[in-house]
Amino acid sequence: MSRPQPLSGFPELLPRQRIVEQQVVDHLRRAFELHGFANLQTRAVEPMDQLLRKGETSKEVYVLRRLQADERDTSDAELGLHFDLTVPFARYVLEHAGKLNFPFRRYQIQPVWRGERPQGGRYREFWQADIDIVDQGQLPAHYEVEVALVVADALKDLPIPKVRMHVNNRKLSQGFYQGLGIADTEEALRIVDKLDKIGPDATAKLLVDGVDATPEQAEACLKLAAIRTEDASFVDEIRALGVADPLLDEGLAELAAVVEAAATAAPGFVVADMKIARGLDYYTGTVYEVFIEGEEHLGSVCSGGRYDTLASDGKNTYPGVGLSIGVSRLLVPLLQAGRLDATREVPTCVLVALANEDERTEATALAQRLRARGIPAQVSPSAAKFGKQIKFADKRGIPFVLFTNEEGTQMKDIRSGDQVTVDVDAWIPPEEDLHPRIVSA
């Protein structure tokens, strides 16, 4: 068998990197649960009509097909892997609405699949951590502030570079475009959403070609997109552009409320940024994108928004607001660049050494006594020379080696060389050594 080649867009982590990822996921889970979010897991596949009913996503969906399927069996032909966790959640709400209590708060941490061109920070298989709040009929606006603060809490204690949340409101942008006289405001939003990727000149040309905007209208759209403030002063800057529309007024008021409330609760975290558009059609109000400061080229590491009609069966509507942290997009570039690491590559805190194979049963019993008190331990794989067993532990970052000699049971810290006689049922390692820790470069 020839040496296998990696598949582009499907990152696989080494053990130390995986420890970092697991600890970040555990941290996010605890943060979400502290805010009262219940955990869900939805299936990996959804009907294609559900996946494609909102937004320009058809090129991104991986279609499900059995290799040996009978030509007459088309049961899998209408299924695809989910490309986010919001659309499956909306389906879940509709399917189980009678068993849920509203407002309903949930979090999900699962892989998703997206058939796009792999590049820095973008993958075909990746992990997302989502929170959403949905209600029945009406969703109070204060939840649009709350989800932003949940993410601020979830990210603030992670050993990652500084991040900031950029917010806008779809009503604001669409109302501005309507006030200019642009008919296809949703397409205009999708075009402006590409501004950072293609630049202002190409964006203006797309607006002219794609939505029949005049050069003056395109210039006004770019002036709007250039407005960015850390407080509600964006309202006056937009008013100064001389565009009026009732939907614009509504969006201005809603965004100002979010920015002002967030500035009080999480100073410096939220910035109003009029170029944030979010290309998916299902967003209807506040939209969010979180960027690593100085690493904006990686794209947003967290995004989302309000959606009023995504979960609707024609009779009942369940509006919601949510945010999705791109766990892989956030971590994989930092891991690959060596900016995040774990203190060791295994959970093991103590290696129980073997003088000879006849002692394996006793060594296993010692390890079990440590485990019974929550101390991760494993027995040496072989009764090699003691120096080789030390090397085995050192290579994996295991800090302590336990062994017995004529002086009794000894615990050796292989980093400092310190060695003490211990009572296995009472010895406790330093807190920082009990489990691997995340370290940042």
Which CATH number do you get for residue 392?
3.40.50.800
pLDDT digits 0-9 by tens, 151-165: 999 998 899 999 999
Q: pLDDT at position 147, please? A: 96
- 306's CB contacts (< 8 A; 6+ apart) are 139, 144, 283, 284, 285, 286, 287, 319, 320, 321
Residue 320: what are its φ and ψ, rounded to 5°?
-150, 170
Domain membership flag for residue 412: yes
Query: What was the pLDDT predicted at 74?
Result: 58
325 and 200 inside one domain: yes
Same domain, 367 and 320: no
Overall domain count for the chain:
2
3-state helix, strand, coil in the chain (%, to 5): 40, 20, 40
CA distance 183 to 169: 18
User: Same domain, yes or no, for 271 and 357?
Assistant: no
Residue 315: Cβ-neighbour burial (10 angstroms; 0-12, 13-18, 19+): exposed
Residue 296 Ramachandran class (φ > 0 left, ψ -120 to 50 alpha, else beta): alpha
Same domain, 270 and 134: yes
Query: In terms of DSSP bridges, do strands 104-113 and 38-39 run parallel, antiparallel, or are they unpaired?
Result: parallel
Higher per-residue pLDDT: 133 or 190: 133
Residue 341, pLDDT score? 96
Cα(318)–Cα(312) distance, rounded to whole angstroms? Answer: 6
| Residue 372 domain flag | yes
Confidence of residue 295 (pLDDT cuts 50, 70, 90): confident
Task: Please identify, among 296, 312, 341, the residue that sits at the C-terminal boundary of a domain.
Answer: 341
User: What is the per-residue pLDDT across 6-60, written as a single tens digit (0 to 9) for each?
Assistant: 888 999 999 999 999 999 999 999 999 999 999 999 999 999 888 886 555 667 8
pLDDT attached to residue 55: 54
Rounded Cα distance, 211 and 191, in Å: 9
DSSP per-residue codes, 387-409? HHHHHHHHHHT--EEEEEETTEE
Identify the domain containing residue 386 by its residue range.
Answer: 350-440
Kindly list the distances between the CA atom of residue 170 and the CA atoms of 70, 177, 243, 336, 354, in Å, as whole numbers in the listed order. 46, 11, 16, 35, 66
Tell me the average pLDDT across 81-87: 92
Tell me whether residue 5 is in a domain: no
The stretch 86-101 carries a mean pLDDT of: 94
Does residue 209 fall inside a structural domain? yes
Domain boundary among 313, 341, 369: 341
Predicted confidence (pLDDT) per residue in 340-362, tens digit = 999 999 999 999 999 999 999 99
Q: What is the pLDDT of residues 191-225, one digit of tens each?
A: 998 898 899 999 999 999 999 999 999 999 999 99
Q: What is the pLDDT of residue 69?
A: 67
Q: Does 66 lie in the same domain as 167?
A: yes
Give the mean pLDDT of 98-116: 95
Supply the pTM of this predicted model: 0.90
Q: Are residues 81 and 35 in the same domain?
A: yes
111 and 215 housed in the same domain: yes
Q: Across residues 424-428, what is the average pLDDT?
A: 97
Tell whether 336 and 396 lie within a shared domain.
no
Are 314 and 398 members of one domain?
A: no
pLDDT value of residue 116: 80
Residues in the chain: 441
**Residue 409 pLDDT exceeds 80:** yes
Q: Of 291, 314, 341, which residue sits at a domain end?
A: 341
Look at residue 3 and tell me if it is in a domain: no
| pLDDT higher than threshold 70 for residue 76 | no
Burial group, residue 223, by CB count within 10 angstroms (0-12, 13-18, 19+):
middle
Residue 6 lies inside a defined structural domain of this protein? no
CATH (domain of 247)? 3.30.930.10
Is residue 168 within 8 Å of 276, Cβ to Cβ?
Answer: yes
Rounded to an integer, the average pLDDT of 374-398 is 97
Does residue 157 sit in helix, strand or coil? Answer: coil
Least confident residue range of 1-5, 68-72, 239-243, 248-252: 68-72
My answer on whether 301 and 429 are in the same domain is no
Distance, in Å, from the CA atom of 429 to the CA atom of 433, rounded to the nearest integer, reads 6
| In a domain? residue 7 | no
77 with 30, same domain: the answer is yes
Q: What percentage of the chain carries pLDDT values higher than 90?
A: 80
Task: Answer whether residue 10 is part of any domain.
Answer: no
Q: What mean pLDDT is predicted for residues 306-317?
A: 90
* Same domain as 367, residue 288: no
